[in-house]
Amino acid sequence: MGCPKAFSISGGMGAALLKKPDLIHDILTTLKRNLCIPVTCKIRLLNSTHDTVELARRIEKTMVSAIAVHGRRVADRPRDPANWSEIASVVDALSIPVIANGDVFEYEDFDRIRAVTGASSVMVARGALWNASIFHPAGSPVEDVKREYVRKSILWDHDIKSTKYTLKEMIMHYTSLELPEGKAVTKSENLADIARVYGEEKYYESINTKRLGVAVGSIHALNGKMAI
């Protein structure tokens, strides 16, 4: 229930649910009643700390296993700083685990947000999108991360639109899409194009050769069974 995007709000999804506590209660109790796995949920801050705490308390009564709190209100934009102190108010009011979310952009932020909020754990979004090595104390240069991401995308034949989206997010954060790398990624139509941008043509060819060999072997095996 954290997404503030227009398509979510207009469809009654995401953060639109924050104005419907009865529906929240019905959804969560129904999930709890019919599932044998843990149920969690995520909210954003409401107009006041009191309102946020009261909603969180009502959610806790549905017996969910944990609640994540994004430290921004629906009207806030990503550039607005997350309010970690208000997440702390939710932590103080509940007995279930609270997951803190908002403005975690480097490894050290994990400890910082936990120290301020007292949360049991941390959720990270943009920070991991920009550089997935955020989860390692030493981290990795973003150029190495991009290259490894490209190789993983090739290995798993990842959707080109999703691959381009992630690369463009990384490029926009650190440089600009108007530079040669950004323009080349934007113009790419398939993973072969992406491989050329990052000098991974040989890797792309080796993976596709192996993939083709497996496909041909499967066809031969199928034909053999049909002949029998």
Cite the active site residues.
Answer: 3
Residue 101: its H or E element: strand 98-101
Q: Are 80 and 103 in contact (CB under 8 A)?
A: no
Could you tell me the strand order of the sheet in which 40-45 lies?
40-45, 66-73, 98-101, 121-123
Q: Are 120 and 90 in contact (CB under 8 A)?
A: no
In the 8-state DSSP scheme, what is residue 81? Answer: P
Burial class (CB in 10 A: 0-12, 13-18, 19+), 86: buried
